[in-house]
Amino acid sequence: MLKVFKRAIKVALGVLLLLALLQTSSIPPYRVFDYGVGAVVAGHQFSFARWEVGAVARKLDQMLTSTVGQLSEEEKKAIVLDYLSLIQRIGELEQSIQQAYSTEENPAAATLPLRQELEELRQRQAEQQGLVEAILEEQISRVLLSQDLDTLRIVWPPVKFQFERLPLYLVISLRQEIFVRKGIYLEHGLGLDTREAIEEEIDETFDVSSLTVGVGGLSAYPAMILEAASLDFIVKTAAHEWVHGYLFFRPLGWHYDASPQMRTINETVASIVGDEVGDLVIRRFYPELAPPPPSFPPTGGNEGGYPPSGGEGEVPPPPEPVESEFNREMRHIRLTIDEMLAQGDVEGAEEYMEERRRFLVAQGYYIRKLNQAYFAFYGSYATSPISVDPIGEALQRLRRESASLREFVDTVAVITSHEDLWRILGEGENTLALLFG
């Protein structure tokens, strides 16, 4: 029996080796780029499989030992707010220690009290983290239920997230056209020298534009959320990532990678819904942290379809965004380089972006690299102030015309192409581009 087993193992290994050899010797042309980029980042890619094993085990343990059900609403609030204060203090200590190492003659001695306090606070952080995650997961779930964003009265998938040091995201765009050609997650904490070496090798080898960026959340399961001292950021990001999980079971999510436009629709829907759900969480469970409601006009103040403010589970219409000087400048840069690229002036567009980057740095906006990949990544969120994509305004308009958040989600969940959005609004794509472009 042992000999048979060993023989089976040898046969299996032989088959796997043969398949590997066949794959490497006959790479189809359309996969050459992917394999080439993979070779450049080999050894630096983030392992989702390894992370998932630990994250799922941790969440199962939390579910089995959770004490959230035994806490009052006031106790839950106090625990969350105390945790946010803890994170804020940790950030202050880390900044003070970093500054000391650039100013003090003996930084080790000067920062000893700070490092001791930091160690104590990190221990408290590790002890409280799971409970805070469970409290916020429950609160977000209750708001989703109040908005009928459920499946047979069950929030599916369950809201699960984990505070993490998130991986970096390598964005690759063509030089001639701004869109995400490929994205790869890299290990957290890669040094700037390594990141720039990867970007330079990819750019020179494949004649593309690349950039490594940080992200605030990642829709793995459980979702990864950057730990921050802002409750507004945490709940909106967690809700945003939950929307991606919800759409994973629906046509819109299935077609996420079908085109740059479908990626933008997915991300923008997640932003719209996530922001609204996050606002509701703050207003319902942490009302003292909620911003004051906007002033309403004397008449005709609610044509948009949002419920009026004042009741539990309701959120007022968003005020008109105030565009900052930075956003105006970035939007102008984007429109200019779009025009230059359309005329085929790739080198001119790149020189222009570098010149404007230097200008922004002189104004205090420390942008390491401003290129096609930068705009490809941030432009995929059409609610971003620097986006020039009409999809953002079209989806915002569709939300205003929807009677509820659930109606909006049901409407967009069946979209399988960006043309579907224009059909839903009853207008052609060219008309919308003229209206919103």
pLDDT tens-digit profile of 94-124? 888 877 877 777 888 888 999 899 999 999 9
End-to-end CA distance of the chain: 72
pLDDT of 283: 96
Q: Which of 66, 84, 189, 48 is nearest to 137 (CA)?
A: 66
Q: What contacts 309, CB < 8 A, 6 or more positions away?
A: 293, 315, 316
Q: What are phi and psi of 181, to 5 degrees?
A: -75, -40
Give the pLDDT confidence of 190-245 residue by residue, as tens digits: 888 899 999 999 999 999 999 998 888 887 888 889 888 899 999 999 999 999 99
Spans of the chain, pLDDT less than 70: 1-30, 293-323, 380-389, 427-437
Structure tokens at 218: 């990642």
Q: Which of 157, 217, 207, 153 is nearest to 177 (CA)?
A: 207
pLDDT of 38: 85
- Share the mean pLDDT of the chain: 82
Q: Between β-strands 168-174 and 180-186, what pairing exists: parallel, antiparallel or unpaired?
A: antiparallel
Q: Output 381-384 pairs: Cβ under 8 A, ≥24 positions apart.
A: 381/264, 381/267, 381/268, 381/271, 382/264, 382/265, 382/267, 382/268, 383/268, 383/271, 383/272, 383/275
User: Tokens 């998938």 map to which residue?
Assistant: 157
Give the pLDDT confidence of 64-99 residue by residue, as tens digits: 888 888 899 999 999 999 999 999 999 899 888 877
Q: Between β-strands 161-164 and 223-226, what pairing exists: parallel, antiparallel or unpaired?
A: parallel
Please answer whether residues 394 and 412 qualify as being in contact, where contact means their C-beta atoms are separated by less than 8 angstroms: no
Structure tokens at 238: 């967690």
Q: Which of 259, 244, 296, 105 is nearest to 179 (CA)?
A: 259
Scanning 147-230, the segments in alpha helix (DSSP H) are 192-206
Decide: helix, strand or coil at residue 160: coil
Exposed / middle / buried, residue 173 (Cβ in 10 Å: 0-12, 13-18, 19+): buried
Q: What is the three-state SS of 10-32? A: HHHHHHHHHHHHHHHHCCCHHHH
